[in-house]
Amino acid sequence: MDIDQSIFYVVQELVNNLSHDTDVDRSTTTTVEQDLNANIQENEAAQNASEKHPIVLDNQKNDQIEEHHTQLESTEQHRTQIDQSEQHRTQLESTEQHHIQIDQSEQHRTQADRSDEYHTQLESTEQHRTQADRSGEYHTQLDQSEQFIVQNFNAGINNEPIVLKIVQINTDIDFRWKIIATVICKQPTRTYTNANGLGEISTWDLADDTGSINLVAFNFNSKSMSDKLIEGKSFEFTGLSIKTADSVYKTLSHPFQLIATNRTNVQETLMLFKYELTHNFTNLNEIEYLPINSTVDVQVGVLRDYGITTGSTNDNTWTRRELHVHQDGAHIRMTLWNEQARRIQTSMVTL
């Protein structure tokens, strides 16, 4: 009985222990479940909170972004207004410059108009002066013509030679005449030989207020006239003959020339006409296109002076000077004869 009770007691202890362990396990299980549930709830709450909070943050950020964009747009509008103001100012400045240019153009135009008026006045004054000069010349010519008519009328009555102007000289004159002219040039005397023997020829250029003409004298008349005629002096010529000028030898444009004869008389006189020497220069490049024996004026440089030589041909003594001249790339040999060859004693290269 005691054994049985002891076994019973052991069994009862075992049962009690098992019951206690079961309660402990249940309590532990319950606690664990509670902890798990609490954690789950906290996580869900945190998740819900995190889901709600970003929305608030996002809304704030969006508001800030909107405000920033609004400020940017306002800044852009302000900048656009500034740019428009700058453009407007630039347009104003351009307009001001345009107006200044217009004003300057107007001033220039006004000055040009004044200049035109001034030049017009000058031209009018010059025309008036020219007309006055022409009128004076006309009256002078009238006076000279009247004097010429009176002189010729008196000459006709007194059977004296009628004064001719050089431009009036021709081969159809059938009355006694004379000219008053200035010796403007004495050409070198030349010698020649023909069937009659040795001859000499001299030529002078005579001029008055109407033109110029050659005077030619041969042999004895050449010597006689050379003693009387002085370059730059004025003379009255009578007893001359007229012939058509030979284009080979003439040096002036007049179609006729005067010939001294045994009846020619020369007297020095005063003449109001003052001759002014003029030149009509020809370029060396054009000489090859001119007719042979043409008379030209040239202005050249001397590259070489071959010096003066003398000789004789058919008992005629001559002096010659050869030059090498140039102008604008053209070169030609030039020959000076007799007096012209001897006129300059030094080398012509240094001139």
Comparing CA positions, the residue from 116, 117, 179 lying closest to residue 151 is 179
| DSSP assignments along 218-270, one per residue | EHHHHHHHHHH--TT-EEEEES-EEEEPPTTT--SS-SEEEE--TT-EEEEE-
- C-alpha to C-alpha distance for 41 and 29, rounded to whole angstroms: 18
Tell me the sheet residues that pair with 235: 181, 268
- C-alpha to C-alpha distance for 166 and 255, rounded to whole angstroms: 11
Comparing CA positions, the residue from 201, 202, 200, 197 lying closest to residue 186 is 202
- C-alpha to C-alpha distance for 317 and 338, rounded to whole angstroms: 9
Domains of the chain: 168-269 (2.40.50.140), 284-350 (2.40.50.140)
pLDDT in tens, 128-141: 565 555 555 545 54
Instruction: State in Å, rounded, how far the first CA of the chain is from the last one.
Output: 182
Is 0.85 topped by the overall pTM? no
| DSSP assignments along 275-314, one per residue | ------B--HHHHTTSPTT---B---EEEEEEEEEEEEET
pLDDT in tens for each of the 351 residues of the chain?
Answer: 444 555 556 556 665 555 555 444 445 445 545 655 565 566 666 555 545 544 444 566 666 667 767 777 777 777 777 777 777 777 777 767 766 776 676 776 666 566 566 566 556 556 656 555 555 554 554 455 455 555 555 555 567 899 999 999 999 999 999 999 999 999 888 888 888 888 899 999 999 999 999 999 999 999 999 999 999 999 999 999 999 998 877 778 899 999 999 999 999 998 877 878 778 899 999 999 988 877 889 999 999 999 999 998 777 788 999 999 999 999 999 999 888 899 898 999 977
What length does the chain have?
351
**Residue 175 carries which DSSP code?**
S
- C-alpha to C-alpha distance for 324 and 340, rounded to whole angstroms: 16
Helix (H, G, I), strand (E, B) or coil at 1: coil
Contact yes or no for 144/128 (Cβ under 8 A): no
Contact yes or no for 258/217 (Cβ under 8 A): no
Tell me the sheet residues that pair with 267: 236
Contact yes or no for 182/270 (Cβ under 8 A): no
Sign of CA dihedral 7, 8, 13, 17: positive
